[in-house]
Amino acid sequence: MKAILFVFPFVLAVAYFPISQCQNLPLIEHTCKQTPYYGLCVTSLKSDPRSKTAGDVQAIALIMVDIIKAKAGGALQHIEKLKQKYPALRVPLSACKDRFNAIIIGDVPQAVEALTKGDPKFAVDAANDAALEADSCERGFSGKSPITQMNKLNHDISIITASIVKMML
């Protein structure tokens, strides 16, 4: 009898755990299907533990804004390393640094404030601006830049975010 009392709660917890891990999968999938980059959207949201408890599109949008910030921060760190490694690219890399700083200092706070105050239009503008900043960074190089993939990722994450926020309009 003691064994049953010990094992039953354990089995119940194990059986419940996978269900709770996936409880927001329908919300994530439904939301991401309305964006231009479904796979990246789902992968990005599933990588953030807060998405498991996000109850609505606004919560999903706020998570995506944080992902924009994280990706832009990663780009900034990489740019600093590249400036040391490739002194000839110092000027365009410095311009990219300015662009990604603008995302972190300007666009992200604007989007968060707009979403939390219930004015999603300004969050759409901020996310679209973040995408433009990544594009501008890429265009600053003659030919392919050493951060093409990061620029594309930042652009795509920002476009996904704008698409999600538009659902709130």
Torsion 12-13-14-15 (CA) sign: positive
Average pLDDT over residues 75-95: 97
- pLDDT band per the 50, 70, 90 thresholds, residue 20: very low
Q: Is residue 50 part of a domain?
A: yes
Q: Quick one: which of 48, 50, 151 has its CA closest to 159?
A: 151
In a domain, 5, yes or no: no
Q: What value does the mean pLDDT of the chain take?
A: 90
- Which pLDDT band, with edges at 50, 70 and 90, does 143 fall under? confident
User: Is residue 125 domain-resident?
Assistant: yes
Q: What is the pLDDT of residue 24?
A: 79
Establish how many alpha carbons lie within 13 A of residue 125's alpha carbon, considering only the half-sphere containing its beta carbon.
9
82 in a domain, yes or no? Answer: yes
DSSP 74: H
Question: Does residue 107 form part of some domain?
Answer: yes
58 with 168: CB under 8 angstroms? yes
Percentage, residues of the chain above pLDDT 70:
86
The pLDDT value recorded for residue 5 is 46
Structural domain includes residue 2: no
- Position 23 confidence tier, pLDDT thresholds 50, 70, 90: low
Cα 63 from Cα 79, distance rounded (Å): 24
The CATH number that applies at residue 117 is 1.20.140.40
Q: Give per-residue pLDDT as tens, 115-127.
A: 999 999 999 999 9
Give residue-wise pLDDT tens across range 32-84: 999 999 999 999 999 999 999 999 999 999 999 999 999 999 999 999 999 99
pLDDT at 131: 99
What is the phi/psi pair of residue 86, to 5°?
Answer: -125, 80
List C-alpha distances in Å: 145 to 74, 95, 116, 133, 134. 16, 12, 36, 14, 12
Average pLDDT over every residue of 136-150: 95
> What total number of domains does the chain contain?
1
What does the DSSP 8-state code read for residue 51? G
The C-alpha atoms of residue 140 and residue 34 are separated, in whole angstroms, by 31
* Range 91-98 average pLDDT: 98
Which residue range forms the structural domain that includes residue 153? 24-166
pLDDT of residue 146: 97
